[in-house]
Structure 1
Amino acid sequence: MDVKQRCAEKALEYITEGSIIGLGGGSTIKHLITLINENKIYVKVVTPSWETEQHCIDAGLEVVSITDVSKIDTAFDGCDQVDEQFHALKSGGGIHSMEKLVAELSEEYILLVDKTKVVPVLTYDHPVVLEVLPQALHFVNEKLKSFPARASHVRQSSGQDGPVYTGNGNLLVDVFMNAGQDGADLERRFKGVTGVVDTSLFTSVVTKVLVAGETGVQEMKKGGDVR
Structure 2
Amino acid sequence: MKKRSALRALELIEDGMIVGLGGGSTISHLIHFMKEENKQVKIVTPSFTTANLCLEAGLTILPTYLVSHIDIAFDGCDEVDQSLNALKSGGGIHTQEKIVASLAKDYILLVDESKFFEELPFKVPIVLEVIPEARMDVANKMNELGASIVERKCSAKDGITRSDNGNLILDVQFKPHQDLETLNRKLQQTVGVVEISLFYQVATKIIVATETTTELIERNG
TM-score (normalizing by structure 1):
0.94
Q: In 1, distance between residues paired with 2:190 and 2:133?
A: 13
Residues 183-210 of structure 1: CA deviation (Å, up to 9, x unaligned): 2321211010000000000012100000
Q: Is the 8 A contact 1:122 1:183 kept in 2?
A: no
Residues 1-227 of structure 1: pairs in structure 2 closer than 5 A: 3-149=1-147, 151-222=148-219
* Cα distance in structure 2, aligned partners of 1:40 and 1:188: 42
How far apart are the structure 2 equivalents of 1:185 and 1:103?
21
- 2:159 is paired with a residue whose SS is coil
- Structure 2 counterpart of 1:146, which letter? E
Partners of 2:107 and 2:204 within 8 A in 1: yes
Give, in whole Å, the separation in 2 of the partners of 1:114 and 1:148.
Answer: 30
What is the CA–CA distance in structure 2 between the aligned matches of 1:97 and 1:90, rounded to whole Å? 11
Contact 1:77 1:111 in 2 (8 A): yes
Cα distance in 2 for partners of 1:200, 1:109 equals: 15
Distance 2:23 2:180 in 1: 22
Following superposition, the deviation at residue 148 of structure 1 comes to: 2.7
C-alpha distance in 2 between matches for 1:21 and 1:72: 6
User: 1:181, CA displacement in angstroms?
Assistant: 3.6
Root-mean-square deviation over aligned CA pairs: 1.1
Distance in 1 between the 2:194 and 2:174 partners? 19
Give 2:217's aligned amino acid.
M
SS at match of 1:5: helix
Normalised TM-score (structure 2): 0.97
Is the Cα–Cα contact under 8 Å of residues 112 and 211 in structure 1 kept in the other structure?
A: yes
Structure 2 CA distance, aligned partners of 1:163 and 1:180? 28
Gaps in structure 1 of 5+ consecutive residues: none
Q: Which runs of 5+ in 2 are unaligned?
A: none
Partner Cα separation in structure 1 for residue 197 and residue 6 of structure 2: 23
**Residue 215 of structure 1: CA displacement?**
1.2
Task: Calculate percent identity across the aligned residue pairs.
Answer: 47
Deviations 1:120-164 (A, max 9, x none): 011111000000001110111121122132x10210112121110
